[in-house]
Amino acid sequence: MRKPVAPRVTSAAVCGCRRIVCVTASAAVLMPLLIGPPAFEVAADQRLQNAFAAAADEYHVPRSVLMGVSYLQSRWDSHPGAPSVVGGYGPMHLVDARPAPAAPPPRGSTPPPAVAAGPPGSPEANSSGSRSEQRADLQHAARLIGAPAGRLRTDAAANVRGGAALLAAAQRQLGKPLSPNPADWWEAVARFPGTDDTTVAATYANDVFAVIRQGAHRTTDAGQHLTLPANPALRAHIPQGAGQPKDVECPAELSCSWLSAPYVELEDDDYGNHDLADRPRDQKIEYIVIHDTEAPLLSMLKTVQDPTEASWHYSVRSSDGHITQHVRTKDTAWHSGNQFVNARSIGIEHEGFLTQPNAWYSEQMYRASARLVRYLAKKYGVPLDRQHIFGHDNVPAPTAGSIPDMHDDPGPFWDWRHYFDLLGAPLRATAGPDSDMVTVLPDFATHRPRFTGCGGSGVPCTPHGSSAVRLHTEPDDNAPLIQDPGRRPNGDDSTEDVNDLGSRVSAGQSYAVAERSGDWTAIWFQGHKAWFRNPKNHPTAVGAKGRMVTPKEGLNEIPVYGRALPEENAYPEGMPEQPESPLPYSLLAGQRYVTRSQLTGSYIDRSSYGDTPSPVVKGREKYYEIQFGHRLAYVRASDVDVVTARAR
């Protein structure tokens, strides 16, 4: 949840999201930014694969178990020797409990206030800043293998040996033999993350065994090619979890808790920090919005309990994927900056900073979040595509004037391709390479566009896998970047800054093809042709099938909106019609934009506090939701024709 926004304006209901006071980080959890040279040396492609084999043989741990645990810990990445938020290092994510020197805050930032932990057992006490839980201990692993602790932080092979030694020690403590059968290691695997939460432990072990059954192949951040052969016959005795608190709407296999956001009356008819509703009976839930907190979870848990601040439905902890619910899904949280989207969506915050993905975007967080989204999408009939499951950075501005205030999380380093794999809805080609539509789909590990601003204005970010693809005005790497007149109304150029969305598209988003030239493809983007490099032997986008909208014959230009409002005569007597505010872009004759849904305009008057939900004003005017730029937008159905892409 990047960038503070103005307090909620009830009369116009423009923002639908209160100002978030997000500290940059607490001193206990400040992590290195994406800057500086890697500590792990990039060696021969098979070196890490060989290290797993050698460590498994040395400590009599099945190789599949060792590799499966490492995959859940880090997806086999070394994260260039830098620690995660909980101090985890290397492919086994071994945690060094000794505090490292705190990194300085980014230039121009304000030192964060100290945040006290909550009572034992509360979500606050178990936030990522807490050391109350004992995880895979790097110091213990170093003693078991007789190596300096510093070596396990910087040497991937030593890190893997330490993980193998810890698994073998856990198996012996359980009184079990060092069996070659992976099924005999379930309890030892469940102990590896060091949590006392039996549901978290069971889900972790189940996920490790699922990886072993399915197999995996991946190129790591250090360029290592690793393969875990599938073992579909693997079965293990899996005990049942502890269950969920009755108030929580959460899949049974996840560890979830409840920490309520307050619905209270303030002064001058104002109130906070969410709205009562009766969804989906009074308003269909159509979207799930993915945020990151841009603050440690501990501070965000305090924010969501403040009635003068914003709210969201769920928080997901970085360290282990624990989920805390704050607002009932039937009610409307103030999370997106667009009240129209809020009324139709569920907001999920993920603990992390978009400039520090290695430290915060953990595999356990990805998996817990994907389970939650899959559960919610099934419950409410939300399609698993990128026009319904999207980031805070894809939410349209409700009015032209609010565009510069819209947010940019979870950012270019959120792995949408992996996330949709976990959702069971993989992003893939659905048409031939010459189709009239394309889906943006770079290879996350190898696609590393240049970004700046991770450690201060203009400071280069360390190259990192990315979901983002940058757009140019011509088919040339040296051509200017596409401009966003709404985001930069003064005419300033788009930049390579990590927070600048003006010239970017993202994995899973689909666009109409405007032209092709050699290795370059142009798409229609905010009223212009926007070019990106897309070689056939290593494509950045793949063919897609679907529907597109284009202005009706005789219309040279049609308006584009950030919300779909009802027509004038739909408002009840005494309720003022909401003013339309077309976005400052041109959708011209001959242009096409991808649509995946049609909806009718609606509005909810949020002007006063009450004990019952406010009525939903529902119009008859139909709109299409379109992928217009990096963000979504809406056009009137009466202004457009719908055409089907040729899937060539």
Instruction: List pLDDT tens digits, range 25-76.
Output: 333 344 445 544 444 444 447 899 999 999 999 999 999 999 999 999 999 9
The answer to whether residue 198 is domain-embedded is: yes
- The lowest-confidence range among 63-67, 227-231, 243-247 is 243-247
Q: Are 187 and 177 in contact (CB under 8 A)?
A: no
At 239, the pLDDT band (50, 70, 90 cuts) reads: low
Task: Give the pLDDT confidence score for residue 108 in this predicted structure.
Answer: 32
Task: Give the pLDDT confidence score for residue 40 in this predicted structure.
Answer: 47
Q: Are 168 and 59 in contact (CB under 8 A)?
A: yes
Task: Give the pLDDT confidence score for residue 11 in this predicted structure.
Answer: 35
CATH classification at residue 165: 1.10.530.10
Most confident of 60-74, 80-94, 449-463: 60-74
**Looking at residue 211, what DSSP letter applies?**
H
Long-range contacts of residues 477-484, Cβ cutoff 8 Å, at least 24 apart: 477/533, 479/531, 482/525, 482/526, 482/528, 482/530, 484/526, 484/629
Torsion (CA) 551, 552, 558, 562 in degrees, nearest 10: -70
Q: Report d(CA 490, CA 66) in Å as an integer.
A: 55
Q: Give the residue-averaged pLDDT of 149-177.
A: 96
The answer to whether residue 176 is domain-embedded is: yes
At 648, the pLDDT band (50, 70, 90 cuts) reads: confident
Higher pLDDT, 33 or 198: 198
Given phi > 0 = left and psi -120 to 50 = alpha, else beta, which region is 491? left
Task: Give the pLDDT confidence score for residue 505 in this predicted structure.
Answer: 98
Q: Give the residue-averaged pLDDT of 453-472.
A: 94
Q: Which residues is 598 bridged to in the sheet?
A: 624
Torsion (CA) 67, 73, 76, 79 in degrees, nearest 10: -160
| Nearest one of 324, 329, 325, 334 to 275, comparing CA atoms | 334
pLDDT(128) > 70: no
Task: Give the pLDDT confidence score for residue 242 in this predicted structure.
Answer: 52
The answer to whether residue 375 is domain-embedded is: no
544: its two tokens: 């897609």
Q: Are 106 and 100 in contact (CB under 8 A)?
A: no
At 97, the pLDDT band (50, 70, 90 cuts) reads: confident
Long-range contacts of residues 208-215, Cβ cutoff 8 Å, at least 24 apart: 208/65, 208/68, 208/69, 208/71, 208/72, 209/68, 209/182, 209/234, 209/236, 209/238, 211/68, 211/71, 211/72, 212/64, 212/65, 212/68, 212/182
End-to-end alpha-carbon separation of the chain, Å? 40
Q: Report d(CA 73, CA 84) in Å as an integer.
A: 11
The answer to whether residue 85 is domain-embedded is: yes
pLDDT(145) > 80: yes
Q: Which residues is 599 bridged to in the sheet?
A: 623
Q: Report d(CA 523, CA 462) in Å as an integer.
A: 29
The helix or strand, by DSSP H or E, that contains position 226, with its residue range, turns out to be: strand 225-228
Q: Report d(CA 473, CA 353) in Å as an integer.
A: 30
Higher pLDDT, 236 or 32: 236
Task: Give the pLDDT confidence score for residue 34 in this predicted structure.
Answer: 54
- The lowest-confidence range among 232-246, 512-526, 626-640 is 232-246
DSSP secondary structure letters along 500-557: --TTEEETT-EEEEEEEETTEEEEEETTEEEEEE--TTS-SEEEE--EEEEEPTT-SE
224: its two tokens: 């290592």
Residue ranges in 120-250 assigned as alpha helix (H): 138-145, 149-154, 156-173, 186-191, 198-214
Average pLDDT of the residues of the chain: 88
- Tell me which residue has tokens 């069996």: 179
| Nearest one of 504, 543, 544 to 526, comparing CA atoms | 504
Q: Give the residue-averaged pLDDT of 5-17.
A: 39
The answer to whether residue 148 is domain-embedded is: yes
What percentage of the chain carries pLDDT values higher than 90? 76
Handedness of CA 95, 172, 236, 51 (dihedral sign): positive
Q: Give the residue-averaged pLDDT of 431-453.
A: 96
Q: Report d(CA 147, CA 150) in Å as an integer.
A: 8
Task: Give the pLDDT confidence score for residue 545 in this predicted structure.
Answer: 96
**Looking at residue 376, what DSSP letter applies?**
H
The helix or strand, by DSSP H or E, that contains position 48, with its residue range, turns out to be: helix 47-59
The answer to whether residue 168 is domain-embedded is: yes
Q: Report d(CA 152, CA 149) in Å as an integer.
A: 5
Alpha carbon 528 to its chain centroid, in Å, reads 28
Q: What are phi and psi of 633, to 5 degrees?
A: -160, 175
Q: Give the residue-averaged pLDDT of 554-571.
A: 97
Q: Report d(CA 297, CA 300) in Å as an integer.
A: 5
- The number of distinct structural domains making up the chain is 1
What would you report as the CA-atom Rg of the chain, rounded to the nearest whole angstrom? 25
The answer to whether residue 166 is domain-embedded is: yes
Amino acid at 515: E
Q: What are phi and psi of 564, to 5 degrees?
A: -110, 105
By CB atoms closer than 10 A (0-12, 13-18, 19+), residue 516 is middle
At 133, the pLDDT band (50, 70, 90 cuts) reads: very low
pLDDT(4) > 50: no
- The lowest-confidence range among 16-25, 195-204, 589-598 is 16-25
Most confident of 133-147, 254-268, 286-300: 286-300
Q: Are 75 and 365 in contact (CB under 8 A)?
A: no
Task: Give the pLDDT confidence score for residue 237 in this predicted structure.
Answer: 58
Q: Report d(CA 78, CA 93) in Å as an integer.
A: 8
- The lowest-confidence range among 68-72, 102-106, 611-615 is 102-106
547: its two tokens: 């529907």
The answer to whether residue 153 is domain-embedded is: yes
Give residue 58's domain range: 47-97+134-221
Alpha carbon 147 to its chain centroid, in Å, reads 37
What percentage of the chain carries pLDDT values higher than 70? 86
Report in angstroms the alpha-carbon separations of 182 from 93, 189, 236: 21, 10, 8
Q: Report d(CA 564, CA 550) in Å as an integer.
A: 18
- The lowest-confidence range among 80-89, 286-295, 412-421 is 80-89
At 243, the pLDDT band (50, 70, 90 cuts) reads: low
Alpha carbon 437 to its chain centroid, in Å, reads 25
The helix or strand, by DSSP H or E, that contains position 438, with its residue range, turns out to be: strand 437-440
